[in-house]
Amino acid sequence: MVAKKAPFPLQKVTLKLYEGDFRQLADLYPRSGANKVIREMVRRHITMCLEATQARLAQQPIVEALDITLPTDEEMAKDEQG
């Protein structure tokens, strides 16, 4: 079987799974394969986390800019002199 090209660039990593989990995924998804299933699970999890973060940020009130007046160089020099 010829593997299809992934829609995004892939990065090879080492992932430690619990013993037997990889085999069970391979058995459950013989056509897709365990690697693709794990890749898709990770992508979905990241997407869900990012969406949840965006939703929380959208609910927070917007903080108005603080009105801060910074001292001028002359005022700073005067304070340093005493």
Residue 3 confidence (pLDDT): 64
b (16+ CB within 10 A) / e for 21-56: eeeebeeeeeeeebeeebeeeeeeeeeeeeeeeeee
CA 4 – CA 42 distance, rounded (Å): 19
Task: Give the predicted TM-score (pTM) of the model.
Answer: 0.62
**Over the stretch 39-63, which tens digit does the pLDDT of each residue have?**
999 999 999 999 999 998 888 777 7
Residue 75 confidence (pLDDT): 85
Instruction: Calculate what percentage of the chain has a pLDDT beyond 90.
Output: 55
With the C-alpha atoms ordered 41, 42, 43, 44, is the resulting torsion angle positive or negative?
Answer: positive
CA 67 – CA 40 distance, rounded (Å): 47
